[in-house]
Structure 1
């Protein structure tokens, strides 16, 4: 029997860690997922993603808009589908993953997921610090220096720690109201940015090849929804089981899809006549330069707030993932440790590294492969009707029903490893034409050239797991306790 270990109230520190949430403590509605994913995607990072579609992939504006719709709505529909496990099992995504990979086998996917979260946090923190530096310069004439850079990093990190440290209830409340505030500010800023568009170049730009459209969808999906797919269950675990799963999928897809479609499309428009956005080492300054001087302060506030909305979600998930890895501290302490790493990463990007977007795109390319491999395995397992034993999830010893063979569920682990190998065969990660970090032997084929190594990994992971695992009802031998009869239809 799972006992209550939570204090899930707005303004109070959430004391529950990764323990499954009992039915008596579940509340909320599907609309919370809309605000959660809207909040995560109103940051200005969507603009350079769109700029890349036109500047580097040669798409027309209409192709770029199509890519934005398919990549963002589609990838977050997948996030919504995977978050159903959180509603079903009441635990974070990587904790539930123990049931699929085994208590030891789950370490690999969990570590990769944690690295993904830390990477995204570092990107958001760096960009937000640039925004705060620009705000201080614009409002008070204070010029950037090393000490001020460190102070701006610490201010953003402190804001992140305050929200993420308090936990789930506070995050859900802030997501809704702050999204409205910063969403309106972003709409105002976007209205002024549209005035800077060189419409003659936009309308005269030729259409790119079909392969570039496919590659663009993959690029947007890997840069948006795929990066959040291993965190969706973290925010759905407090929802009642009775909520229809399709509502969560729709809420997730539209919550993220609406802001991403607008931002990515606008970024594509802006880059049609000016490549400064996609090549800038400081994207905040590049966008600021396109606006009237009097718009600088509202824009910079919107940029800072939007990045904070994304970052506190990522930091919350990273804390849960660290506990799943075996860190034996309260959840709030895990979040605090995570922000220390975030601070160090921000120092590297702002004071040491010469390039901002080179490492960013390389990071996305490489981590998308193992995360996609995990998605393939988890998706097949979920489709087979997985149920979760809360006691077995928390029992990491040999007595756990999820111990399997030496702590490994071999079909899942084998599928994940083979999928990573297959995906990397088609993957090329580089910061420039002359600075190639990694190139698989098949990276020059159609799948490789179009950046679809992550899609290969997802397909192979799903196929190998489906073939190697026994097709059986999910009882204890399949990694879960039989579902109560009155809950069998809740997932339809």
Structure 2
């Protein structure tokens, strides 16, 4: 058994980096993606998303539930569809992106992807540290201070490192069994939270405007699936090509959709009677205050575990992204470097920044645009049936088939840049009325006020690439087509 195969076992350090996985080493089932995306979304960050739909967009519970279904299930169906590129090419998403944008041109989308991953990790790490601080207060009666905050951050980061550092096989195993455990704990907590709902106010709430529903769908999609779209291939690259692509789509959509619809809907229920959750600087404490005191310990454990399930996936993908950028270290060391950056971000959020959700929603709004532009270009490229040449993916020099013109494939890079500009024209990002980070000149139009700048970026990027991108005929011989699905659109039939 060679080293790379040995490292694919549970409990051993994965030594494979971003190099494509050969067919002989492919293994697993589509159900792995179900557990992967269930794990990524079982954290209680879904509750504030639902709270925002009611508090800031004026929706009632029924509208929020519909928004949750369309926004989360739909966006993760897109994640599943894009993950088929990983199954086809055997490499992480941003490594495969080299074939589309060129070896140098791909650095732009890859840098944005890494910033996105680090941002999500910082948000998750911060929330988990709040949970640990609340747990320490409940059990030992000690209150938050600088030293205790640093300890809480370190504990969560070490737990993340133990999982992400080991790699793909261990992550796949933990996703299933830990999700079942923390899923049961979350169901118990949810049961008690439902008991606090003011049903009279829920039933009396007036329906919000159609614009609020459309904007809510965009907000949920941007805050859930769109943020993971450029990581889907990372977890599908070990899957055999014989698995029909439609199974990856269904597994991803339902794996993420089940917990997200439940949590987002519950968040909207809780906020119908009290909007404190939507504005809380410490969401963990806000939820804890709604529960009986004796429920604090199981709730905080469930919160910590759910956030850990999401964070280890983000850190794993971030490590692969750093390797794609050219970092010359083993994959496990790339994870360590990413963890250090996340620790610094956690310190900023907990000890320096005065607001939690302001920077959170602003971060989501801005990064959704360039990521969406990448989705538009990559999506069209997948429809064209690209096959990836493994040697060319790993050759970053001028001899690479994917070097194109000076390292750029302008037919893709150009539409990506134009799509970003188009999306930002309709985008507004602020933490408050008096703290506007960015506002595009068309932000007050219908698309802008409904938060659809990211959707504009997808459409513009995909359309321009479809019109002017051409085809890379050399890549039609890049690998052997799957016997059951030669192109993504055939896989979905």
What is the DSSP-based 3-state SS (H/G/I as helix, E as strand, rest coil) of the residue aligned with 2:441? coil
Query: Cα offset for 1:374?
Result: 0.1
Contact 1:88–1:237 under 8 Å retained in 2: yes
Contact 1:6–1:16 under 8 Å retained in 2: no
What is the DSSP-based 3-state SS (H/G/I as helix, E as strand, rest coil) of the residue aligned with 1:230? helix
Residues 1:82 and 2:91 are matched in the alignment? no
**1:194 corresponds to which residue?**
194
**Where in structure 2 are the equivalents of 1:330-409 lying within 5 Å?**
330-409=330-409
Determine the C-alpha separation between the residues in 1 that align with 2:227 and 2:481: 35
What is the DSSP-based 3-state SS (H/G/I as helix, E as strand, rest coil) of the residue aligned with 1:193? helix
Contact 2:244–2:484 under 8 Å retained in 1: no
**1:59 corresponds to which residue?**
59
Query: Cα offset for 1:482?
Result: 4.2
Q: TM-score, normalised by structure 1?
A: 0.97
What is the DSSP-based 3-state SS (H/G/I as helix, E as strand, rest coil) of the residue aligned with 1:437? strand
Residues 1:457 and 2:457 are matched in the alignment? yes
Q: Deviations over 1:139-161 (max 9, x none)?
A: 11121111000000000000000
Query: Cα offset for 1:256?
Result: 0.1
What is the DSSP-based 3-state SS (H/G/I as helix, E as strand, rest coil) of the residue aligned with 2:243? coil
Q: Deviations over 1:274-333 (max 9, x none)?
A: 011111110000000000000000000000000000000000000000000010000000
Determine the C-alpha separation between the residues in 2 that align with 1:349 and 1:36: 27
Query: Cα offset for 1:258?
Result: 0.3
Residues 1:118 and 2:99 are matched in the alignment? no
Query: Cα offset for 1:480?
Result: 5.5
**Where in structure 2 are the equivalents of 1:252-267 lying within 5 Å?**
252-267=252-267
Determine the C-alpha separation between the residues in 2 that align with 1:281 and 1:139: 22
Determine the C-alpha separation between the residues in 2 that align with 1:178 and 1:485: 35
Equivalent position to 2:485, from 481, 486, 489: 489
What is the DSSP-based 3-state SS (H/G/I as helix, E as strand, rest coil) of the residue aligned with 1:272? helix
Determine the C-alpha separation between the residues in 2 that align with 1:210 and 1:120: 30
Residues 1:20 and 2:3 are matched in the alignment? no
Contact 2:429–2:437 under 8 Å retained in 1: yes
Q: Deviations over 1:78-115 (max 9, x none)?
A: 00000000000000000000000000000000000000
**Where in structure 2 are the equivalents of 1:26-45 lying within 5 Å?**
26-45=26-45
**2:69 corresponds to which residue?**
69
Contact 1:21–1:90 under 8 Å retained in 2: yes
Query: Cα offset for 1:481?
Result: 3.0
What is the DSSP-based 3-state SS (H/G/I as helix, E as strand, rest coil) of the residue aligned with 1:408? coil
Contact 2:4–2:14 under 8 Å retained in 1: no
**1:321 corresponds to which residue?**
321
Q: Deviations over 1:57-94 (max 9, x none)?
A: 00011000000000000000000000000000000000
**2:144 corresponds to which residue?**
144
Contact 2:430–2:437 under 8 Å retained in 1: yes
What is the DSSP-based 3-state SS (H/G/I as helix, E as strand, rest coil) of the residue aligned with 2:460? helix
**Where in structure 2 are the equivalents of 1:88-237 lying within 5 Å?**
88-237=88-237
RMSD: 1.3
Consecutive unaligned residues of structure 2, counting only runs of 5 or more, are none
Contact 2:244–2:485 under 8 Å retained in 1: no
Determine the C-alpha separation between the residues in 1 that align with 2:378 and 2:452: 19
Q: How many pairs align? A: 487
Determine the C-alpha separation between the residues in 1 that align with 2:144 and 2:110: 38
What is the DSSP-based 3-state SS (H/G/I as helix, E as strand, rest coil) of the residue aligned with 1:430? strand
What is the DSSP-based 3-state SS (H/G/I as helix, E as strand, rest coil) of the residue aligned with 2:477? coil
Determine the C-alpha separation between the residues in 2 that align with 1:168 and 1:339: 17
Contact 1:99–1:480 under 8 Å retained in 2: no
Change (3 A) 1:461 1:468: same
Q: Deviations over 1:248-283 (max 9, x none)?
A: 000000000000000000000000110111111100
Determine the C-alpha separation between the residues in 2 that align with 1:106 and 1:157: 29
**2:473 corresponds to which residue?**
475
Query: Cα offset for 1:489?
Result: 3.2
What is the DSSP-based 3-state SS (H/G/I as helix, E as strand, rest coil) of the residue aligned with 1:134? helix
Contact 2:102–2:409 under 8 Å retained in 1: yes
Query: Cα offset for 1:7?
Result: 1.1
Query: Cα offset for 1:469?
Result: 1.3
Query: Cα offset for 1:483?
Result: 4.0
What is the DSSP-based 3-state SS (H/G/I as helix, E as strand, rest coil) of the residue aligned with 1:86? helix
